[in-house]
């Protein structure tokens, strides 16, 4: 009789293990469905702007528009660029809820070639948001002549 119990033990252990594995999978799926993805309070129209064939020495701006969807006024506390060759202007006054604002970014177009730079926007209404500018600056000889 003792041998009979030992023969069923591996099967019971296997059944219990499978039950626990499937239960865990089912539980994981139900919690994922219940989660809502939080939308950022500052909703930018685009997070990346790419421009090709930028004339050497031009004053082109990369302008990122956003809307404040928070329940309070948004204050852009800081705008940090990834390089000294990039400068960003932020709104100096709070952006009221439901209103729009802009972040203006200038890249030093006396640096020839391809570039990718990031701009991190910090505010009082959410996590930092990373914006990206990409492009290619033409050499002076390839740039159009301005008269």
| pLDDT over 70 percentage in the chain | 72
Q: Per-residue pLDDT for 38 more than 80?
A: no
- Whether 123 and 75 have beta carbons less than 8 Å apart is answered as yes
The predicted model gives 88-115 an average pLDDT of 96
Every domain of the chain and the residues it spans: 1-36, 42-137
Q: Which residue has the higher pLDDT, 3 or 88?
A: 88
pLDDT in tens, 4-31: 555 556 666 666 665 655 556 555 544 4
CATH placement of domain 42-137: 2.60.40.10
d(CA 38, CA 101): 21
CA angle at 45 for the pair 44 and 48, rounded to the nearest 5° = 85
């Amino acid at each position: 009789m003792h041998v009979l119990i030992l023969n069923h033990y591996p099967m019971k252990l296997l059944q219990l293990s499978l039950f626990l594995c499937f239960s865990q999978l089912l539980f994981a799926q139900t919690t994922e469905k219940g989660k809502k993805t939080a939308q950022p309070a500052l909703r930018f129209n685009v997070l990346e702007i790419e421009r090709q064939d930028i004339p050497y020495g031009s004053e082109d701006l990369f302008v990122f528009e956003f809307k404040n969807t928070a329940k309070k006024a948004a204050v852009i506390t800081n705008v940090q660029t990834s390089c000294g060759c990039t400068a960003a202007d932020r709104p100096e006054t709070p952006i009221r809820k439901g209103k729009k604002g802009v972040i203006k970014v200038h890249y030093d177009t006396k640096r020839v070639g391809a570039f990718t730079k990031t701009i991190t926007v910090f505010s009082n209404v959410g996590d930092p948001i990373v914006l990206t500018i990409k492009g290619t600056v033409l050499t002076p000889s390839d740039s159009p002549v301005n008269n």
